[in-house]
Amino acid sequence: MLKKLKQQSPYHLMLLPSIILVFIFSYIPFYGLVIAFQKYNPGLGFNSPWVGWDNFEHVFNQPNFVRTIWNTLYMSAFKIIGGIVVPVVFALLLNEVARSAIKRTFQTLVYIPNFLSWVIMAGILLDILSSDGIVNSFLKLFGIGSIPFLGSPSIFPWTMIVSDIWKGFGFGTVVYLAALTSIDPGLYEAAVIDGAKRWKQTLYITLPLLMPTIVLMSVLSLGTVLNAGFDQIFNLYSPVVYQTGDIIDTYVYRLGIQQAQYSISAAVGLFKSIISCILVGVSYILAYKVANYKIF
Amino acid sequence: MIQDKSIGRRIFHAANYTILILTSLLCILPFINLLAVSFSSSAAVSAGNVAFWPVDFTTKAYEFALTGGKFFTALWISVQRVVLGTLINLILIVLTAYPLSKSNLKVTGRNVYMAFFIITILFNGGLIPTYLVVVKTGLIDSIWSLILPGALPVFSMIILMNFIRGLPEEIEESAIIDGAGPFQILTRILLPLLKPALATVGLFSIVGHWNSWFDGIIYMNNPVNYPLQSYLQTLLQSFEQIMLKSGTDYTQLLSMMNARTGRAAQMFLGAIPILLVYPFLQKYFTKGLVLGSVKG
Query: Which pLDDT belongs to residue B252?
Result: 43
- Single pTM value for the model: 0.85
Q: Is A290 on the interface with B (CB under 8 A)?
A: no
Residue B293: which pLDDT band, with cuts at 50, 70 and 90? very low
Q: Is B213 on the interface with A (CB under 8 A)?
A: yes
Q: How far is B274 from chain A (nearest CA, A)?
A: 7
Sign of CA dihedral B2, B3, B9, B12: positive
Give the N- to C-terminal CA distance of chain B in Å, as an integer: 31
Q: Is A85 on the interface with B (CB under 8 A)?
A: no
Q: Is B23 on the interface with A (CB under 8 A)?
A: yes
Q: Is A119 on the interface with B (CB under 8 A)?
A: yes
Cβ proximity of A87 and A180 under 8 Å: no
Among B residues 52-91, those touching chain A with beta carbons less than 8 Å apart: none
Mutation target to probe the B interface, by most B beta carbons within 10 A, among A93, A109, A119 is A119
Is A199 part of a structural domain of the chain? Answer: yes
Query: Which pLDDT belongs to residue A86?
Result: 95
How many beta carbons lie within 10 A of that of residue A165, not counting itself?
20
Q: How far is B225 from chain A (nearest CA, A)?
A: 17
Is A10 part of a structural domain of the chain? Answer: no
pLDDT 10s digits, A94-108: 988 888 888 888 888
Does residue A64 register a pLDDT over 90?
A: no
Asked whether this complex has an ipTM greater than 0.90, the answer is no
Mutation target to probe the B interface, by most B beta carbons within 10 A, among A1, A12, A14 is A14
Is A167 part of a structural domain of the chain? Answer: yes
Q: How many domains does chain A contain in total?
A: 1
Q: How far is B110 from chain A (nearest CA, A)?
A: 9
Query: Which pLDDT belongs to residue A218?
Result: 84
Average pLDDT, chain B: 83
Among A residues 52-81, those touching chain B with beta carbons less than 8 Å apart: none
Q: Domains plus CATH for chain B?
A: 7-68+238-282 (no CATH), 70-219 (1.10.3720.10)
Q: How far is A266 from chain B (nearest CA, A)?
A: 6
Average pLDDT, chain A: 87
pLDDT 10s digits, B81-136: 999 999 999 999 999 999 999 988 888 889 999 999 988 888 888 888 899 899 98
pLDDT 10s digits, B274-287: 888 888 877 777 66
pLDDT 10s digits, B238-280: 544 444 444 444 444 444 456 778 888 888 888 988 888 888 8
Q: Which domain holds residue A251?
A: 39-291
- Could you give the C-alpha distances from B252 to B64, B240, B243, B248, in angstroms and in order? 10, 15, 12, 9
Among the listed residues B113, B206, B106, the one whose alpha carbon sits nearest the alpha carbon of residue B158: B113
Segment among A30-44, A74-88, A271-285, B37-51 with least mean pLDDT: B37-51
Query: Which pLDDT belongs to residue B1?
Result: 47
Is A18 part of a structural domain of the chain? Answer: no
Query: Which CATH number covers residue A134?
Result: 1.10.3720.10
Q: Mapping DSSP to helix (H, G, I), strand (E, B) and coil, where does residue B15 land?
A: helix
Q: Choose from A16-25, A133-142, B63-72, B121-130 the range with maximum mean pLDDT.
A: A16-25
**Are B126 and A252 an interchain contact pair (Cβ–Cβ within 8 Å)?**
yes
Q: Is A294 on the interface with B (CB under 8 A)?
A: yes
Query: Which pLDDT belongs to residue A3?
Result: 76
Q: From the list A174, A185, A293, which residue is nearest B286 (CB)? A: A174
Dist CA A91 CA A174 (whole Å)? 8
Query: Which pLDDT belongs to residue A26?
Result: 92
Is A6 part of a structural domain of the chain? Answer: no
pLDDT 10s digits, A205-258: 888 888 888 888 888 788 788 888 899 999 999 888 999 999 999 998 888 888
